[in-house]
Structure 1
Amino acid sequence: MKLNRLVGRLAVLGLAAHAGITLAQSETAAKLERVEVTGSSIKRLVDEGALPLEVITADQIRQKGLSSAEDVLRSLAANAANANNAVSSNSVFGQEGDRLAGGGAYANLRGLGPTGTLVLLNGRRLSNQGTSGGSVDLNAIPLDMIERIEVLKDGASAIYGTDAIGGVINFILKRDYRGVQASANYSSPQDGAGGQQRKLNLTAGWGDMATQGFNISGSITHSRNDILRGVDRPWALGYQPDRGLAPDTSSSPFFGNILGQSGSALPTAGTTIGATDPTKYTVLNALALTNQCTAVPFGVSQLANPTVLSGLGYTKANSTYRCGTDYGRQYMLAAPSKTTSGVVRATFNVGKDATGFVEFVGSRYYSLGEFTPYQFSTTALGLGSVVNGTAYPTGANYPVNGPYYVNMKALYGANQFDPTKSIAYRLRMWDWGYRTLGNESVNDRLTAGIEGAWGNYDYRLSIARGKASGYQEMVDGYADTNKLVALLTSGIYNPFLMPGQTQTAAAMKAVEDTKVHGRLADGRTQVDQVLANISGPLMKLPAGDLSFALGTDLRREFYGYSGTQNYNCVSSFSKGNMLLANSVMGCPGNGSAPDMTRNVGAVYGELLIPALKSLEFDLALRYDHYQEVGSTTNPKVSFKFTPNTDLLLRGSYNTGFRAPTPQQLHLATVTLATTGTFPDPVKCPNPTGNNDPSCQLNSIPYLSGGNAQLKPEKSRQGSLGVVFSPVKDMTASVDYWQIKMIDRIHNLTPTQELQNYSVFANNFIRDPSGNITLIQAGWINAGGSMTKGLDLTGNWAAKLGDNRLTTTLSATKMISAREQLVSGTPMIQYVGQWTNTTLYLPWKGSLSSTYKTPTLSTTLSANYSASYWDEDHTTFTNVPELQRRKVSKYLTFNLIGTFTGVKDLSLGAGIINLFGVQPPFTWHDVDNAVGTGWDPRVADPRGRTLTLTASYKFF
C-alpha cells in the first residue's frame, strides 16, 4: 500500500510517523519483523499499527540538543507545562508543592499529573522515586543508552494497569551494541554566570548475536549541572511595581523591620514621624527613613505595595517606612546537580528461537535546593520568663542594653517610640545564608528474562526487582531555635545593619554555631515484578489472522518514609517550640509513612480482529487486584480503517484506574504554615482591594497528610483520529481525545479552601474571638474533571540530490480542562488560566527540520508555548490594570550541527535559544508558585546557550 510504503520510508528516517511505526525498517528487507508496539501485547508487522504513538529516536534527541530525559519530556507537546521539573519540585514554597519530591523531574501527559503517566524502561516498570513514592523520577533514565522513546498518547490501563490513564512513556535501550565509544558534552549560557552543564559517557559492547550468539554491552554516564541564580540574570527581578510585581514580604535582609507590638518599643498603634505628619506608622526601618532600602544587597522599598498589593493589607502606615527583600534576585533558577547512571546488559541465544537476557540499570542523582534565607519575627510575649533554665524576660526581642540598640525616637523622630523597651523586629536571615537542602535519589533495577517463538507463537517471560531510595538533608541556612534566640537576645548579633556595615567576627562565629546540619528524612520504594505473555495467531479469517495475547502481571510494591524524626521543624518563636527537642527554625518537616507492602495481581487478554482487509479492531481487557485498595476491570476497544492508500482512520475507547499511592494513604499528619498573606473570608468579606490589615492572615498553621479513606481514581476516555498523505513523501495526523475522570486524588490546600470557604468552612478552626488558629488540609478524593484536546503531527521528507531534508511537527491544542474541586463546587475551566500547579496551555508544539549531507547534519528546531492569563490579582489590588493581564507566548529556536566527515569521530556544535529570548514576564511570586517574575514550568532561564559535543568510536 502506498501509505505503508511511505510510512516505511519515514521510519527509516527516524521521523516517528503517528501511524503506529515504532521501529525503523528498510523497505527493501525481504521479511518484515514482527515486533511488540507500546500499547499492545500482540506482536505485529511494523507497518500495521495505528496507535497515536510518538517516537523520538536517539538521533532526534541529539539533533535537538536535548541532554536529559527531563529535557525530552519538556519538549513533548502532549506533556503539560507543570510543576514537576527539577526546579519546581525542589521547593519549600507554597502549599501546592510536593514536599517529598526531592528535586526530581516527572512526566505529566495530558496534565493529569505524574501519577497519571506510566513510565517504563524496556516495557517494564522502574521503582518510583524513593521519598515521594508516587512516580518515576526521570533522572533515573540513562538517556545516553536510549535507542528511542515511544510515547503512547492514549489511555492504556487495559494493557498496563494503573498509572496509564494519561498515557505511557516507554524508554527503549540500545541492544546488540558492539565497539567502544566515548562522548562528551558541554553547554554554557552566553551570559556565563552559572547554568553550565557537563556530561561524559563511555559505552562498550562485545559479541554479535547473529554470528556468535551473544552480546554484552554497558554504558556509564556522569553529568554535572551548575547552579543558576536570579542575580545572574538581569530580568530575574522580584520587584517590578510598574508591571504589577512587588514582594509580598515583611522582612528585610539587613536592617530588620521594627514591628509595632504590645510590650515593645514601637507600640501596636504605631508612631508619628516628625511634627507635621499625623499618620501613625506601624513598621519602621532606618533604611526606608533615609531612602536606602535598595542600598543593601537584595533590598527593595515597599512604597509601591499599598497600590500593587493593597488587597493583602499593605497600607501607607505599614509600608512607607518598611523595606522588603527582592527574592527574585535570590531565587534559584536552575538547580545544581550531579548524576551518575549506568546500564549493563547481557543477551544470549537460548536454542534456535529464544533469547535470554540479564539487565541492570542504576542511577545516582544528587541535587541542591537553594531558597531565600529564612525570615522570622521576634516577640516579647509567649516565651515566659524561663525556658530550659534560661531567662528570656523580653522574649527574642533586641534588648535595651544591647550595643546595637537603635533609638528611633532620637535618631529619626519617631515620637511614640519607647527606648526603655526591647525592640520587636522581622529579619531575613541573610547572615545564615540561603536555605539549602540536599536531595539524593538512587534507583536500581535488575531484570532477567527470556523472549522467543514457539511455532507461530511469541512468548515473553521476565522477572525484575527495582529499588529506589532517597533522603533530604539540611546543608546550610537553618538554625537551632534555642541557640538562635540566645544569640538574638545576647546583643552580640546586630540585626540593624546599615549600608557598608557587616557583622563582627565574633557575631559570625556565633551565627555559625547556631546552624544545624543533618538528615531530615529518607524513604525507600521497591517493586518486584513478574511478567508473562504469549501472543500469536488464533485462527484464519478471510481478511487475515485473528491474533491474540494473554498475559499476567504480578507485582509486590513497597514504600516506607521515615518523616522528620531527629528534628522538630518550627516557624515561630514560642515557649512550646523552644521546649521541643532539636527544635530547628524554618526547616521543612514532614510526617512519616509506615513501611507498607501491597501485592498487585493482574491478568489481561487482547484480540486483534481483521474484520475486512481495510478494517481492523483491537479488543483488550484487564483485571487488576490491589491489596487494600480493591479490584478493577478495564476494557479497551480500538479500530483502524484504511479506505484507500492515502488515508487511515483510527479511534479508541477505554476505561482507566489509578490506585492511591502508599504515601497518599498513610503519610502521617504534619503541621505546616501558610506562606504569603491572605484575607480572612469572614472578617474580610470584600473580595476586591480590601486593605484592612486587621483581617489579613499570614503563617497560619495547617494540617496536611495522608488519608486512609482515599478511593481510586477512575476514568473513561476516547480518541478519534485520521492519518493522511496529502502529497508524496508527507504524512499528517489529527487526533481528537478526551478524558473524563471521577474521584480524582487531590492534595487539598488552604488556598483552595479559602477560595471555596462556604464548602470548607468546617475545616477552619477558630478561637473564641473568631480568629483562625488551624486549617485542616491534605489528600482527598476531589470531584470530576473533563479534559479535551487535539494532537497534530506532520512528517515530510525530501531528497535533494545526495542529501535529505526532513521535517517533523508535533503540537497539542488544549480545547478544555475543566475540573471540580469537590462535589458541590462548580466545574472550572483552566485552559489558558494561571494555576499553582499545571498550566493547561492553549497550544504547545515543536517543529524541526534536518538537512543531512553525507558528512554534515544540521537541525533547526522551534519550541512554542502559547500565551495564557496571568495569576488573577483581583483580590491583590483595587487598581484595574493591575488585576488581569496575559503572559506572552514563548517561542525559541535551536540550531545544532553535527560533523561526521572523519572516520569514527563525530563533532557537534549548536546554540540553544538562538535569539536569546527571555522568559515571558509573569507577576506571580514564590508565595503562590515557584518562580518570581518568570515561570519555570514554561521557560528555560539559561538564555542563549552554546553546546558542544564530541564522540569517538575506538573500534
Structure 2
Amino acid sequence: MHCIKFLPWVFASNLLLTLDSSTCHAETVKKIAFKLSPLPLNQALIELGKQAGLPIIFAPEMVVDKFSPELTGTISLADALTTLLTNSELAYEVVESRFIVITEAANKAEEVVDNRRNAPQPLENIYVYGNYVTGSRIRRSDFEGYNPVDILDRSELNLIGTPTVSAQLRSLPAVTGKPSSSAVTNGGDASANVTLRGLPANNTLVLVNGRRVANNGLDGDSVNLNTIPNAAIERIEVLKDGASAIYGADAIAGVVNIVLREQFDGLEISTYGGQTGQNDLQTLNTELLWGKNFDRGSIVFSASLFDQQGIMSSDRDYAANSDGRSWGGSDQRSAATPAARIKLSDGRVVTANNVGNANNLAGYRLAETEDLYNYSEQTSAYRPRQQQSLYSHMQLDLSDQLTAFIELGYDSTESENQLAPTPIFTKFETQRTVVAADNPYNIFGEELDDVRRRMTELGPRQQYDREISKRFSTGLRGQNGSWLWDAGYSWSRSDAEQQFHNLVDGERLRRGLGSAAQCTGDCIPVNLLGPAGSLSRAESDYLRTTARSEGSSKIDSLTVNLSGPWFKLPAGTVDVAAGAELRNEAIDKTADPLSSRGGVIGGNNFVGAKGQRTIQEFYVEANLPILRHQLGLQSLELQTAARHSYYSDFGATTTPKLGLKARINPSWLLRSTYSKGFRAPSLKQMHQIDSQDYVSFTDPCAEAANVGRLPGCQQQADGSRKQFLALFGGNPQLKPETSTSYTFGVVYTPTYLSGLQAAVDLYHIKQRDVVDANAMYIAYSNAETGAFNELVQRDENGDIKQIIARYNNAGSRDVSGLDISTRYRWPETSLGNFAINLDASHIHRFERQLFANSQSRNIAGSFVDDATNGLGALPKWKGRIGASWQHLAWQANYTLNYVGHMTELHPDGETEREIEAWTTHNLQLSYTLPVLAGLKLLAGVDNLFDEKPPLIASALNDNIDARTHNLKGRYFYLSATQRF
C-alpha cells in the first residue's frame, strides 16, 4: 500500500496505527519538489506532510512559538525535515518504517525528564487520526479499510489526455454501462455522469467535499460532472460498495467523492492544448491556482477556461454512413427522405423524382429499397463545449480548537450539437396529420395519411445546451479533547437551458397540409409532396420553430457530525461517529408552450416537472476492535453503522451496514461488508408531466416470419420504421428502490517484497423495486406473449401508434463480479524510480428482470443501446495496466486500456453478433525545468496506434458505443505548468 496522503490529527490517548510498513521509509529519500514560505512550525509540518504525501506526527505543545525557514527546491523529505527543524531543538524519527514522528532532540532529553510538567505526551499516548476516507465517517489512518476504495490523486488524474472529470472517471475499470458525455449527441444534453457496476447513474452518489450537490437542472437524476472544475480537484475517491448507511440514498453502486483543494501556497498557472491526428477536436484549457497560508488561516482560489471543438460523424469513415450492411451491421438509414415518400390507398409507395417537378404523376416513381436517407452525413459525433469555472475556499482559526470555513463555486458550461434536418412521418406524429385531398399540392385525388419527408430546406437541427452550477457552504470545525465535530450549511443549485432550432411547428404543418379553403389568415399551403428543395423560402419560414426548455435543481442542507474515541476494550479503543442532516430538495422544469402541447416535430416534446421534498436523517457508526494478537490473528475489527431517513413524500427507511476486517499477519488482510441500501425515486420520476418521445428499436411484428407465430403479431407491421412514439410520465406513488450488498476481499502486502500491494474484492448487489419505464421491453413482451395489450396501441395495419410507459416499481437486478488491483514500486535505483500497476473489473453475472413475473436475463457481456432502454455496454472484463518511471526532473508514463468483447442482438431481431475487444495505448513524458519554483513541460499521446473503436450494429450513434469507446482516434496534447 502507498503511504497515506494526508496529515493526521493528534490527540492524547493511546497509539493506534495500522499504516503500511513497507514504503514510507523509501519515501523519505525520494526527491520531491517542495515550496514552503516561512511559517509557524506546526503549519509548515502540516504543509510538508501534504506535499510529501506522508503522515507526520507531533504533539502540539512541542511546536509552540517555533517557526520554520523558507523551503523551495527538489530535495528529499529527509533533507526537507532537517531544514525545517534547524534551531528548533527537535528531531524526527521514522518509527517502524511506518510514519514520521517529531521528537525532542537528543541534547534536550535530560531537560525533558527533569521538566515533566511541560513535557509533551509520550509517544505511547498519542492517538492518531487521519482524514475522512470515503466509506466511513470515522477518521482513519489506515489505507486498508473495510471497503475497496480507489483514490485518484492529481498525478493519476493527469494521466488522462483530456482534463475533464468525466473522462478521468470513465477510464476506471469499475465504470461500465452508459455514462454520458459530450460524445453522446443524439439524445444527449451535454451533461456527463458516472455509472459504477453498469448500474444507471442515479445509483451512484456523487459528492463534492463529502457534501451533496444539485443534480442536472434538466435531467434531474444525476450530477453533471462537467460542472466540476478540474483545476480545483485535490483527489477523487471512488467507493465501490453500497453506502446508504453512511451517506443515505442513491449510494447503491457506490460513491464518488470529489475532494477540492482547501490549502495551497503560491501561484500556479497551467495551459493545455490538444487535437486529434485528423486535426479536429481542438482543445484548449487554461487554469490558474493561487493560495496563501496565513498565521491563523488560509485561502485558495482557482479559475479555469475550457474550450473544445467538435467532430462530425462524416469526419470518420466508419461513422459517416448509417448503412452498416457492408461490415455485418444493418441499414439504419431513414425512410424520411429529402424527396417525399408517399403511400397511396392502393398500397403503392411512390417518391418524388429529384429532377423535374411534381405537378403531375410523371413527377413520381415507385419507391425502391435504396430510397433512404443517410442522416449521419449531417450529425455531430463530439459536441463543441466551453466551460468557465471559479472556486474558492477560505478558512480561519478562531482558536486552537475552532476553525471557520467558507467555500464558493461557480461553473458555466455551454455546448452545441447538430442533428440531421427534421424528419416528418405524418402517420406517426403525436396528433393526426394528413394531406387533404384538396390540398393545392395534392395531385393524387385522395387524402394522404402516410407521407415521409426530410425537411432539408430548414437546414440541420441545431441543439444548444447551457448549465450554470453554483455552490456555497460554510461552517465550523472544532475539537474538544479527543473528539472532533463539525457543523455547517451548504447550498447548491443547477440551472439548465436547452434549445432546439430548425424544428417544425406541428400545428402550422397540419394547417398548411389542409384544404385551401381552411388555410386562411397567416396560413401558407405547404408542399410536402415534392422533391428535395421544393419548399419555398416562405413555406420554410412558416414551418420553422424553436423549442425551449428550462429547468433547475436545488439542494440545501444543515449537517452536524461528531467523531472520536468512546471507550477502551482489551483489543483497543472503540471509535464512533454520529450525526444528523436536514435537507431540502426541489426541481422546477418548464417547457415552451408549443412544445408542451405536443406541437413540435423533430425534437423532444419537453414537458414540465415540479416538486420538492424534505429529508431528515440520523446516523451512527462505530469501529470496534475485537481481537488483537489472539487466535492466530494480528487484529480483528468490526464496523457497524445505521442510518434512519425520513422523506416527506414517501415515508421512512432504515439502512444498516456491517463490516469485518481481519489482519492475519503483516502481509495478509481479509475484509468483508454487508449492507442494505436504497435509492429514493427522483423528483423527476415522481412528478414529470406525461410526455411523448420517440424510442428506437425494430418491431418484431415487422418480420414476416413472426406474423401468426408470435401471439402479439396478427399483422405484418411496416419494417421501414425505426422509431416509435412512447408516452412517459411520472408516478407520485413510487416506492424507493432497495438493495442488499455483499463484499469480500483479500489484501496482500508481503513484508519480504517491499513495494508490492495486491487486492482482490468480490461484490454482489441485489436490487429490488427498480424504477423503470421501458417502452421497448413492453413492445417486445406484447409481441412475444400477448401481454400489455393495453400499453401497446396498434392501428388497423398493425403498426404501433403509441406505447404507454410510465414509471413504476417493476424490476430487479442481481449483479456480481470482482475487482483486481495490483501495485508494485521497485526500490530506488541509479536509473530512477519504477512502478507498475494493474486494475481490472469483471462482471460475472448481471441478471435483469424488467417486470414482475417476467423472465430475467443475464446481460453480462452484452450491449443494448440506451436509445432502446438498455443499460449500455457491460463487458465482462475491463482493465488497464500502467507503468511509470521517474528520474530527477524526468517522468514517463505508459497506460494500456482494455475493454473486453461483448455480444449484441442484431437489429434483424434474429441473430447475435460479437463486438470486438478494444485495446488502446497512451504515452506521456514530462520534464521539470528549474525556472522559478518549477516549470513542468508535458507531452502525451492517447491511442498511440490509432485503434478504431469496434463497430456495433445496434448502436444509435455513429455505429459505435460513444459511452464506452470513442472515435476521436490518435490524440496529441501538450501542457505547461509554471509554479511561482
Establish whether TM, by shorter chain, passes 0.5. Answer: yes
Change (3 A) 1:379 1:656: closer
Q: Deviations over 1:137-193 (max 9, x none)?
A: 11121111111101111111011000111111111111221222221111101111x
Tell me, what secondary structure is at the counterpart of 1:71? helix
Other-structure match for 1:205: 291
Amino acid at match of 1:841: P
**2:309 is equivalent to residue 226 of structure 1:** yes
1:220 Cα deviation after fit: 1.0
Other-structure match for 2:749: 725
1:512 Cα deviation after fit: 4.3
For 1:151 and 1:10, locate their aligned partners in 2 and report how far apart those are by CA, in whole Å: 27
1:833 Cα deviation after fit: 1.5
Q: How does 1:590-669 map to 2 (within 5 A)?
A: 590-594=606-610, 596-613=611-628, 614-669=635-690
For 2:437 and 2:431, locate their aligned partners in 1 and report how far apart those are by CA, in whole Å: 8
Other-structure match for 2:93: none
Q: Deviations over 1:818-846 (max 9, x none)?
A: 01111111111000122133222101112
Tell me, what secondary structure is at the counterpart of 1:63? coil
8 Å contact kept, 1:397–1:422: no
Other-structure match for 2:942: 912
8 Å contact kept, 2:265–2:290: yes
2:836 aligns with one of 787, 807, 818 = 807
8 Å contact kept, 1:398–1:424: no
Amino acid at match of 1:597: Q
Q: How does 1:458-537 map to 2 (within 5 A)?
A: 458-479=484-505, 481-482=507-508, 486=512, 507-508=536-537, 510-512=539-541, 514-517=543-546, 520-537=548-565
For 1:381 and 1:338, locate their aligned partners in 2 and report how far apart those are by CA, in whole Å: 35
Amino acid at match of 2:768: I
For 2:819 and 2:714, locate their aligned partners in 1 and report how far apart those are by CA, in whole Å: 46
1:481 Cα deviation after fit: 4.9
Q: What is the percent sequence identity of the aligned residues?
A: 25
Tell me, what secondary structure is at the counterpart of 1:784? strand
Other-structure match for 1:834: 863
Change (3 A) 1:487 1:764: closer
Other-structure match for 1:247: 331
1:377 Cα deviation after fit: 4.1
Tell me, what secondary structure is at the counterpart of 2:414? strand
1:52 Cα deviation after fit: 0.6
Tell me, what secondary structure is at the counterpart of 1:885? strand
Amino acid at match of 1:138: L
For 1:538 and 1:380, locate their aligned partners in 2 and report how far apart those are by CA, in whole Å: 67
8 Å contact kept, 1:74–1:81: no
For 1:888 and 1:858, locate their aligned partners in 2 and report how far apart those are by CA, in whole Å: 30
**RMSD of aligned alpha carbons:** 3.5
For 1:250 and 1:334, locate their aligned partners in 2 and report how far apart those are by CA, in whole Å: 22
1:354 Cα deviation after fit: 2.6
Amino acid at match of 2:761: D
For 2:429 and 2:562, locate their aligned partners in 1 and report how far apart those are by CA, in whole Å: 73
8 Å contact kept, 1:179–1:206: yes
Change (3 A) 1:742 1:422: closer
1:767 Cα deviation after fit: 6.1
8 Å contact kept, 1:450–1:460: yes
Amino acid at match of 2:472: L
Change (3 A) 1:833 1:893: same
Tell me, what secondary structure is at the counterpart of 2:394? strand
Unaligned runs of 5+ in 2: 1-16, 32-49, 56-97, 103-127, 357-364, 517-523, 629-634
8 Å contact kept, 1:285–1:322: no
**2:732 is equivalent to residue 711 of structure 1:** no
1:569 Cα deviation after fit: 6.4
8 Å contact kept, 1:91–1:103: no
**2:347 is equivalent to residue 269 of structure 1:** yes
1:338 aligns with one of 379, 386, 389 = 386
Other-structure match for 1:922: 952
Tell me, what secondary structure is at the counterpart of 1:562? strand
Change (3 A) 1:484 1:200: farther
8 Å contact kept, 2:920–2:944: yes
**2:900 is equivalent to residue 817 of structure 1:** no
Q: Deviations over 1:386-443 (max 9, x none)?
A: x9xxxx754778444xxxxxxxxxxxxxxxxx79999985322223222222111121
Change (3 A) 1:238 1:694: closer
Change (3 A) 1:846 1:569: farther
Other-structure match for 2:133: 37
1:697 Cα deviation after fit: 8.3
8 Å contact kept, 2:596–2:606: no
Change (3 A) 1:158 1:7: farther
8 Å contact kept, 2:702–2:716: no
1:808 Cα deviation after fit: 1.9
1:114 Cα deviation after fit: 1.2
1:453 Cα deviation after fit: 1.5
For 1:82 and 1:723, locate their aligned partners in 2 and report how far apart those are by CA, in whole Å: 30
8 Å contact kept, 1:197–1:226: yes
1:150 aligns with one of 219, 237, 250 = 237
8 Å contact kept, 1:79–1:109: yes
1:285 Cα deviation after fit: 5.9
Change (3 A) 1:47 1:247: closer
**2:760 is equivalent to residue 734 of structure 1:** yes
Change (3 A) 1:700 1:329: closer
**2:858 is equivalent to residue 843 of structure 1:** no
For 1:949 and 1:384, locate their aligned partners in 2 and report how far apart those are by CA, in whole Å: 57
Amino acid at match of 1:443: S
Amino acid at match of 2:815: T
Amino acid at match of 1:545: T
- TM-score of the pair, normalised by structure 1: 0.82
For 2:795 and 2:27, locate their aligned partners in 1 and report how far apart those are by CA, in whole Å: 68
1:247 Cα deviation after fit: 3.2
Tell me, what secondary structure is at the counterpart of 2:329? coil
**2:169 is equivalent to residue 73 of structure 1:** yes
8 Å contact kept, 1:523–1:559: yes
Amino acid at match of 2:880: S
Q: Deviations over 1:585-633 (max 9, x none)?
A: 2231133213x22111111111111111211111111111111111111
For 2:688 and 2:367, locate their aligned partners in 1 and report how far apart those are by CA, in whole Å: 41
Tell me, what secondary structure is at the counterpart of 1:338? strand
1:251 Cα deviation after fit: 3.1
Change (3 A) 1:894 1:288: farther
Amino acid at match of 1:429: M
Q: How does 1:168-567 map to 2 (within 5 A)?
A: 168-192=255-279, 194-208=280-294, 212-236=295-319, 237-251=321-335, 253-257=337-341, 259-262=342-345, 268-270=346-348, 282-284=349-351, 286=353, 320=368, 322-377=370-425, 393-394=436-437, 398-400=441-443, 425-479=451-505, 481-482=507-508, 486=512, 507-508=536-537, 510-512=539-541, 514-517=543-546, 520-567=548-595
8 Å contact kept, 1:327–1:932: no
Change (3 A) 1:805 1:329: farther
For 1:66 and 1:701, locate their aligned partners in 2 and report how far apart those are by CA, in whole Å: 37
Other-structure match for 1:774: 802
Of the structure 1 ranges 896-905 and 746-755, higher mean CA displacement relative to structure 2 is found in 746-755
Other-structure match for 2:186: 91
Amino acid at match of 1:187: G
Other-structure match for 1:586: 602
For 2:267 and 2:354, locate their aligned partners in 1 and report how far apart those are by CA, in whole Å: 63
Tell me, what secondary structure is at the counterpart of 1:144? helix
Other-structure match for 1:684: 707
Q: How does 1:757-772 map to 2 (within 5 A)?
A: 757=783, 758=785, 759-765=787-793, 772=800
For 1:356 and 1:629, locate their aligned partners in 2 and report how far apart those are by CA, in whole Å: 36
For 2:354 and 2:888, locate their aligned partners in 1 and report how far apart those are by CA, in whole Å: 66
Change (3 A) 1:384 1:767: closer
1:204 Cα deviation after fit: 1.3
8 Å contact kept, 2:262–2:299: no
For 1:180 and 1:669, locate their aligned partners in 2 and report how far apart those are by CA, in whole Å: 52
